Each structure stands twice: as structure tokens, then as C-alpha cells.
Amino acid sequence: KNQVEQSPQSLIILEGKNCTLQCNYTVSPFSNLRWYKQDTGRGPVSLTIMTFSENTKSNGRYTATLDADTKQSSLHITASQLSDSASYICVVSDRGSTLGRLYFGRGTQLTVWP
Amino acid sequence: KAGVTQTPRYLIKTRGQQVTLSCSPISGHRSVSWYQQTPGQGLQFLFEYFSETQRNKGNFPGRFSGRQFSNSRSEMNVSTLELGDSALYLCASSLGRSGLDSPLHFGNGTRLTVT
């Protein structure tokens, strides 16, 4: 069964600190993995997209890694800011018979305290 | 460039009624996909339209339907509403098919409450 699991479910850190969010998936055949940031009351915003051949991609203070062999990804946030408080969602796409089916993790709720 | 626009922003309906939600994609985007988001289940894929044809469908009952017009605008319809249909409904557009390498651009959603 194709699944995407994220951990931790929630996380509280102090402003200025770094943190790492995890995403494990069983989706096969794999097409790409995406990280989205969703602020409360808003739609998700794309942070990164990685295909099979990419193992690191950065977007400002956000760095995503992908290990396609172990089917794991992480999102590292450097020097956190209050505006980083949001839900971070991992999304994996397959490349099966129904091309481009998307599978969503339930997200990690990050809270940054001053 | 204007982003994805969803209307209405909030909606309150009673059980048994039907509802139609609207989504205007980013200009030039041909793919529109719909998602249901609830606290318990997270984001769940409803369906995707590309060039006016439904290309992919999630595991939702037939009460959930949609369509896409020639200008890529899309509507989603839910008939015979149930309490469990209360959720945030998100629409996303992309240049190519949603599952390929194009990023999804989400609207801010329609918050549907069924009483």
C-alpha cells in the first residue's frame, strides 16, 4: 500500500534554532517528492521538488534531502524564524498506470517561539 | 500573475443539500486538481482535470464530481451533503499534469461546514 509517514507530528523550537523534519514513504514506482509549507488558513506553498536522481535541494533556509534507496526524505530548516511556524507536508508522486497519483503525509506542525 | 482563486471562501450548508465550488487556475495552467483537507485525515486527493478531461480520481464516493471548462476554470460539486463532508477544499493548478515535475500552486481553499 502506498503511504507517506511524517515525523514528528508536532515540534516546538526556539527562534534561531535549526530543526529537521522526516518523511518516510512506500510509494512505488517513485516519481518525485515534494515539501510544502502551509500557514494556518492558507493553501500549501511549494518549497522543493526532487526527482529520483536528486538527493539535495535548497530553497533559502530550507534544505531537503532524499534517499531513494531507503525511501526517506528530510527537510532541514536553518536559523528558524517566527514565520516558519506552519504545517510542513511531504507529498510523493507515483509513476504507475494512473500517471502522477499524489500521496500526502499528514504533516508536521512546527511552532517557533520567540 | 494572479494566483489560484477559489470561491466562495466560506460556505455553510445543511445535510442533504448540494454545493458547487469554483476554482480559477493561474493563467496558462492546464491542470486543475482538487483536494479535501480535514484535521483527522490530512490532505486527500479528489480528482485531477487536464484539458477538460478527468485524468485521475481519488477514493471518494460518486457524490463528489467535477468538471473543467475550456478556459481551464474548474468546478467541484458535492451532492447529498453529509456531516463528514465538512472540510477545507483546496484547488491546485500546474502547467503540466499534477503528478509530474511541475509544482502545484494551491488556492486558499473553500471552508465548507455541513450542519
Predicted pLDDT at B2 = 80
Predicted pLDDT at A101 = 77
Contacts A44 to B, Cβ<8 Å = 43, 90, 104, 106
d(Cα B2, Cα B11) in Å, to the nearest integer? 23
Predicted pLDDT at A100 = 62
Least confident of A37-51, B43-57, B88-102: B88-102
Predicted pLDDT at A42 = 92
Distance between B56 CA and the closest CA of chain A, angstroms: 7
Q: What are phi and psi of A112, to 5 degrees?
A: -110, 120
**Would you call A68 an interface residue with chain B, using a CB distance cutoff of 8 Å?**
no
**CA-based angle A5:A7:A13, to the nearest 5?**
155
Torsion, CA B84, CA B90, CA B91, CA B95, rounded to 10: -130
Radius of gyration of chain A from its Cα atoms, rounded to whole angstroms: 14
For residues A21 and B102, which has the higher predicted lDDT (pLDDT)?
A21
Predicted pLDDT at B103 = 84
| Spatial CB neighbours of B39, under 8 Å, sequence gap ≥ 6 | none
DSSP assignment letter at A40: T
d(Cα B92, Cα B105) in Å, to the nearest integer? 5
Predicted pLDDT at B27 = 94
Query: For every one of its 114 residues, what pLDDT tens digit does chain A have, with 9 covering 90 and above?
Result: 889 999 999 999 999 999 999 999 998 888 899 999 999 989 999 999 998 889 999 999 999 999 999 999 999 999 999 999 999 999 998 876 555 678 899 999 999 999
Average pLDDT on B40-53 reads: 89
Torsion, CA B91, CA B96, CA B98, CA B102, rounded to 10: -100
**Would you call A104 an interface residue with chain B, using a CB distance cutoff of 8 Å?**
yes
| Spatial CB neighbours of A86, under 8 Å, sequence gap ≥ 6 | A37, A38, A39, A40, A109, A110
**Would you call B11 an interface residue with chain A, using a CB distance cutoff of 8 Å?**
no
How crowded is the C-beta side of B102, counted as CA atoms within 13 Å?
18
Which member of B42, B55, B90 has the closest CB to residue A43?
B90
At B26, is the secondary structure helix, strand, or coil? coil
Predicted pLDDT at B13 = 97
Proportion of chain B above pLDDT 90, given as a percent: 76
Which member of B43, B97, B103 has the closest CB to residue A100?
B97
Q: If you average pLDDT over every residue of chain B, what do you get? A: 92
**Would you call A40 an interface residue with chain B, using a CB distance cutoff of 8 Å?**
no
Best CA proximity match to B105, nearest among B9, B21, B23: B23
Distance between A17 CA and the closest CA of chain B, angstroms: 27
Contacts B48 to A, Cβ<8 Å = 100
For residues B77 and B100, which has the higher predicted lDDT (pLDDT)?
B77
